[in-house]
Amino acid sequence: MTSKQFKSGAALLFKVLQQHDVKDVFGYPGGAIMPIYDALYDSDVKHFLCRHEQGAAFSAIGYARASGKVGVCLATSGPGATNLITGLADAMSDSIPVVAITGQVATKSMGSDAFQEVDIIGLSLACTKHSFQVRDVNDLAGILTQAFAIALEGRQGPVLVDIPKDIQLAQVEQALSLVNQKNKTDAQEPANVGSALALLNQAKKPMLYVGGGVGMAGAVTQLREFINITGMPSVATLKGLGAVNSDDDCYLGMLGMHGRKAANLAVQECDLLIAVGARFDDRVTGKLAEFAPHAKVIHFDIDQAEIGKRRGVDVAVMGDLKVNLPALAIPLAITEWQEHCQQLGKEFANDYTYLGKGIYAPAVLNEISNTLKANNQAEHTVITTDVGQHQMWTAQHMDFTDPSNFLTSGGQGAMGFGLPAAIGAQISRPQDTVIAVCGDGSFMMNVQELGTIKRYQLPVKIVLVDNSKLGMVRQWQQLFFDERYSETDLSDNPDFVALAQAFNIKAKIITEKEQVSEAIEEMLSHQGPYLLQMKIDAFDNVWPLVPPDTANDKMIESIK
Amino acid sequence: MTNHTLRITAENQPTVMEKLLQVTRYRGFIVTGMTMFPESDSSLLTIELSVQSDNSIEHLQYQLNKLIDITAIKLDSDAASLCRT
């Protein structure tokens, strides 16, 4: 590649993006990124104009998670760049490969408190794997190549590349090499397969604790094969949902604060816990000192820093799950334990009996899940959520065929994730169905992205679970703050149907359970975007719930 | 609180010191002393970082080792801490 091919840094940027197979980017223009948007005008890279930079970041995340590719977002300097920060933090917590490109004021103005200048490098260091600032246009291609490599290698995550305006405009002078990589693989101990096998052979009650790392490693097939060979019972984290075949008799679903009772009880009983791409998050463990108290621990991971971070391990198996899981897949004689776990699963199966008169959200979500399965649509459907009660109900009551079919903000719990993530997922998988399950509080946090749906006529379906509350906070106020409902009432929400219709999105509100089945059918069969608002009782709660700093077997299952 | 000294080799990049100190603080360590100087060709930095914490120093090493511009970390268990307290 030589300077003859490119005129400016901005033009070079899109050439390098194409070399990394980037077909779609999400962004929002502004002063300090105008040369890049000018070059975009002549580029084959397709740009999706979001209506807020946070929407662009979440859409890039949704795109990455649904497709396994790197998500790319663009923003201008100053407020444009700071608006990306929540998305970068989400991508960092949930290990999502994203490259964020920000415009910056010209190098001669940097450090002068110039208009729309912010130290985005300083701000982003805490929520990216790495941040680059390009100071010489001849470094641009090499830096971008490094950014993609860093985003994807080892434990995946976000990388920011800040490009001053004069660098975007500068002429590329030198012959360029794209191979200037500074890859850094995580320092790792050798895989302790022998020690792990010894523990596995001794175990009478082994339990597989499946995290988001399985999907990120592309190791769903190897995990399912491991389960088939060992017959081991399993539970999953929020981000691990979809990795285990939900029809497996010994799969007990999600564990943790809002986990299934069967999952939490079985983990508390197990004598060997095998964590696979999971990090003993506080929402999973409850009171850490009393989590799986009888268990030895084998921990499979790609990130050495996760080993022993919260829970000591007996054997760490570092490296690629696609290699390490098959190495430990041996048949186990654990019939009694399997039967016990199956019994727990049956005894504490989800119950959809509802004493209220109106719509019961868990039952609706389960019906959507069952309808997708009955229509053979489940494999080709992506579900996204916002954050709160509806998120936990979705995790508890819907089944997923793959982790890339369930996108939710796990580590950060970022409200407003669902709608823009659904947009990104729909763009990456245009033939598939994408359903955003939103709460009425979260939905309003990025409601402007309805404009993106309208602009590109994306057939995203929105299930708006509307209790006119900030439901999860309201639930905690009821349980732990003496029913002092501080600032959680949203009864003055807008008319959501009218709001959707203002964006040319077909919309319907339902209030009675008799309306549910027909409404689901109508939504799923509609060709374009659709918003289904369902009013639910403001005081429906998510059960079970493990109170803060409490062992997972001490779940609350109702208001006393 | 335990004192430790880390000897770190890092690429001489503008953000490396900032990120090093950020991760050290975030993971619960107090910096009690630090020296930093470039190697002769200026492309690498040698950093001696003394820290204090109840947290595991190994875990700080693992976190720092993930930083792109840090090329080597050694726990100097024999070195006198730079901390004068």
Please state, in angstroms and as integers, the Cα–Cα distance from residue A21 to each residue in A43, A144, A235, A341, A482, following that order: 13, 13, 36, 45, 54
- Is A481 among the residues known to form the active site? no
The CA distance from A558 to A541, in Å, is 8
Q: How far is A305 from chain B (nearest CA, A)?
A: 5
CA distance A230 to A333: 9
Q: Is A165 a catalytic residue?
A: yes
Residue A179 has pLDDT above 80, yes or no: no
Q: Cβ(A182)–Cβ(A248) under 8 Å?
A: no
- The residues spanned by each domain of chain B are 2-75
Does the annotation mark A53 as catalytic?
Answer: yes
Provide the pLDDT for residue B41.
85
The CATH number given to B2-75 is 3.30.70.260
pLDDT in tens, A303-324: 999 999 999 999 999 999 999 9
Coil vs helix vs strand at A215:
helix
Dihedral sign for Cα atoms in the order A175, A177, A178, A183 = negative
Whether a cis peptide bond, with omega within 30° of 0, leads into A547 is: no
What is the enclosing helix (H) or strand (E) of A143? Answer: helix A140-152
Which residues of chain A are within 8 Å of residue B58 when distances are taken between CB atoms?
308
Q: Which of A268, A334, A283, A275 is nearest to A307 (CA)?
A: A275
Mean pLDDT for A145-150 is 98
Phi, psi values for residue B2, rounded to 5°: -110, 140
Instruction: Please say whether the beta carbons of A402 and A242 come within 8 A.
Output: yes
Tell me what the mean pLDDT of segment A346-373 comes to: 96
Determine the pLDDT at residue A173.
Answer: 77
What tokens appear for A521 in the block? Answer: 């059918």
The torsion defined by the Cα of A287, A289, A290 and A296, in degrees rounded to 10, comes to: 130
Q: Quick count: other Cβ atoms within 10 Å of Cβ A160?
A: 28
Residue A186 has its nearest CB partner, among B56, B58, B66, at B66
Could you tell me which residues of chain B have a Cβ less than 8 Å from any Cβ in chain A? Answer: 11, 14-15, 18-19, 22, 26, 56, 58-59, 62-63, 65-69
Mutation site for A-interface testing, chosen from B66, B70, B75 by largest number of A Cβ within 10 Å: B66
Q: Which residues of A touch B14 (CB under 8 A)?
A: 121, 133
pLDDT mean across residues, chain A: 95
Backbone angles phi, psi at A503, to 5 degrees: -105, 20
Which one is catalytic: A19, A116, A342, A478? A116
Structural tokens at position A462: 């929105």
- In this predicted model, which residue has the larger pLDDT, B40 or A384? A384
3-state secondary structure chain B: CEEEEEEEEEECCCCHHHHHHHHHHHCCCEEEEEEEEECCCCCEEEEEEEEEECCCHHHHHHHHHCCCCEEEEEECCCCCCCCCC
What φ, ψ does residue A489 adopt, rounded to 5°? -85, 125
Q: How far is CA A51 from the centre of its chain?
A: 21
Over range A64-82, report the average pLDDT.
98
pLDDT digits (tens, 9 = 90+) for A492-502: 999 999 999 99
**Strands in A279-386 per DSSP E:** 296-301, 315-318, 381-385
The answer on pLDDT for A359 being more than 60 is yes
Amino acid identity, position A499: L
CA pseudo-torsion sign A508, A513, A515, A516? positive
**Predicted pLDDT of residue A181:** 53
**Residue A522: pLDDT band with limits 50, 70, 90:** very high
A3 has pLDDT over 80: no
Whether residue A531 contacts residue A507, with contact meaning beta carbons closer than 8 Å, is answered with yes
Rounded-to-5 percentages of helix, strand, coil across chain A:
40, 15, 40
Helix A335-347 with A261-269: angle, nearest 10 deg: 150
* Contact status, residue A382 vs residue A433, Cβ threshold 8 Å: yes
Tell me how far apart the alpha carbons of residues A336 and A489 are, in angstroms, rounded to a whole number.
49
CB contacts, 8 Å: B68 with chain A: 129-130, 150, 182, 184
Q: Is the pTM of this model over 0.90?
A: yes
Per-residue pLDDT of chain B (85 residues; tens, 9 = 90+): 999 999 999 999 999 999 999 999 999 999 999 999 998 888 999 999 999 999 999 999 999 999 999 999 999 875 544 444 4
* Average pLDDT value for residue range A193-219: 96
pLDDT score recorded for residue A5: 57
Q: Which residue has the tokens 């070079």?
A: A12
pLDDT at A121: 98
- Integer-rounded Cα Rg, in Å, for chain B is 12
Q: What per-residue confidence (pLDDT) applies to A187? A: 45
Q: Are A311 and A297 in contact (CB under 8 A)?
A: yes
Short-list A176, A128, A147, A132, CA closest to A9: A176
Of A137, A96, A112, whose CA–CA distance to A9 is shortest?
Answer: A137
Total CB pairs under 8 A between chain A and B? 41
CA A283 to each of CA A232, A239, A403, A553: distance values in angstroms, whole numbers, following the listed order: 23, 12, 19, 14
Q: What is the pLDDT of residue A139?
A: 96
CA atoms of A155 and A128, how far apart (whole Å) = 12
DSSP one-letter string for A59-125: HHHHHHHHHSSPEEEEE-STHHHHTTHHHHHHHHHTT--EEEEEEE--TTTTTS--TT---HHHHHG
**How far does B37 lie from chain A, in Å, by closest CA?**
22
Nearest to A475 by CA among A540, A413, A534: A540
* Confidence at A6, pLDDT banded by 50, 70, 90: low
Does B68 sit within 8 Å of A182, measured CB to CB?
yes
Q: Residue A15 burial by CB count (10 A; 0-12/13-18/19+): exposed, middle or buried?
A: buried
3-state secondary structure (DSSP) of residue A508: strand
Chain B residues with CB-CB distance to A184 below 8 A:
66, 68
Q: What three-state secondary structure class fits A519? A: helix
- Indicate the residue type of A271: D
Residue A500 carries which side chain, given as an amino acid letter? A
Task: Report which DSSP code applies to A237.
Answer: -
How does pLDDT run across A413-445, given as a tens digit for each residue? 999 999 999 999 999 999 999 999 999 999 999
Question: Which residue, A4, A54, A2, A5, is CA-closest to A26?
Answer: A54
Question: Under an 8 A CB cutoff, do A309 and B59 touch?
Answer: yes
ipTM for this model: 0.92
Q: Are A304 and B62 inside 8 Å of each other by CB?
A: yes
Q: How far apart are CA A394 and CA A364, in angstroms?
A: 10
The pair of three-digit structure tokens given for residue A544, joined into one six-digit string: 């079970």
Per DSSP bridges, beta strands A130-133 and A98-104 are unpaired
Task: Decide if A308 and B56 are in contact by the 8 Å CB cutoff.
Answer: yes
Under DSSP, the state recorded for A469 is B
Domains of chain A: 3-169 (3.40.50.970), 193-347 (3.40.50.1220), 361-535 (3.40.50.970)
- Specify the long-range contacts of residues A285-292, CB closer than 8 Å, at least 24 apart: A285/A256, A285/A310, A285/A311, A285/A552, A286/A256, A286/A257, A286/A546, A286/A549, A286/A550, A286/A551, A286/A552, A287/A549, A287/A550, A287/A551, A287/A552, A290/A551, A290/A552, A291/A267, A291/A551, A291/A552, A292/A207, A292/A267, A292/A268
Which residue's entry shows tokens 């912010």? A118
Classified as helix, coil or strand, A153 is: coil
Of the candidates A129, A165, A239, A469, the residue annotated as catalytic is: A165
Residues 6+ apart with CB under 8 A from A444: A493
